[in-house]
Amino acid sequence: MLDDTAVENKGEVVYVADPKLLSWCDAVPVFRQRACLTHALIASYGLLHKMRVVPSEAASEEDIRKFHSQEYVEFLQRGVPEEEDEGAQDEFGLVCGLAGGSLTAARELTSGRTKIALNWCGGWHHAQRDMASGFCYVNDIVLAVLHLRSAFPKVLYIDLDVHHGDGVENAYLFSPKVVTLSLHRREPGFFPATGAVEDKGLGKGKLFTFNVPYKEGINDKQFVYLFESILYPLCEVFIPDAVVCQCGADALSQDPLGGGNLTLKAYTTCVTHVANLSKPTLFLGGGGYNKSNAAKLWTAITSTVLKCPVSAEIPEHQFFSWYGPDFELEVTAGLRKSSNTQESLDQTIKAVHGNIEKLAEVLGQK
């Protein structure tokens, strides 16, 4: 349950959550209970009292149609027979509910009521304009960016999920107002098999798309090296008015679908850099198929954004048993060897820096 007293506490950080949003998120079959796990862990550390908790307002059909095609919206309204797709939802209200969390957070930012908003029930970055993909039915990120642009002309989208943020990239492929920056695993057979470093956008949006692919087993040092080497040079050229950061947890060690070897430290370091940009920022969830580890990550990021350190020992609460046998807020790296080398990382960085230099020329900075 939500702690109602937290709603009255005014803080610099807005946290979007309410029982309906949590239940909508938990209704997605592959993520059952993950939203409640995350919320309960954040609450157990007393972090709700340090944020302004805002209930989500479901997206309207009009909101959904701002990105998704009429045919696809009608398809969602009809629902999909279970025998065709076990992951599909019968109620259009559910997808509107899921999309509403990120729109609610975006409205808090555009209103000026906050500089940082969190929605761990958001981050559905694979949904395309006219089709579902990768457990994502409505692209809440694209809808949130569309709303943010009503107040902030230039938006930087950062994707830390192990899977390429293809749906968001495709939505803004032709836009010079939204830069998409995705760090992701890219190898033959790994979903969604997109996001090559050579993919830079199209038309007026050419050079506004940045892909940073890596290989299986990436570790903290390598991931942070990539991120730090690219974020600041990019932001010196494309100076964003607002930032959206998708924090998919599936690059963590022990994720059954990710193949990464990150700990919480890699993510919290990157999040600190994003917060240091001092722009209105929306932090979102995403993938994460080890549910307790995803809850740990988003709790750690919440703590980082609040600049409120928490104990390594997880407090006793209703889902305490999920965190055994150590009951600690930590995700240890595994023994998996990284397929990335210093040479391969530097080659990627060199290619991305080349794209940044070309973007600087386009923007008249060189």
Residues marked active site are found at: 126
Half-sphere exposure of 183 (CA within 13 A, CB side): 29
Residue 47 and residue 306 in contact, taking contact as beta carbons nearer than 8 Å: yes
Rg (CA), the chain: 19
Counting Cα atoms < 13 Å in the Cβ hemisphere of 316 gives: 0
Q: Name residue, tokens 């059909």.
A: 61
Q: Which of 149, 147, 146, 130 is nearest to 138 (CA)?
A: 130
Residue 10 CA from chain centroid, whole number: 25
Beta carbons within 10 angstroms of residue 232's beta carbon = 12
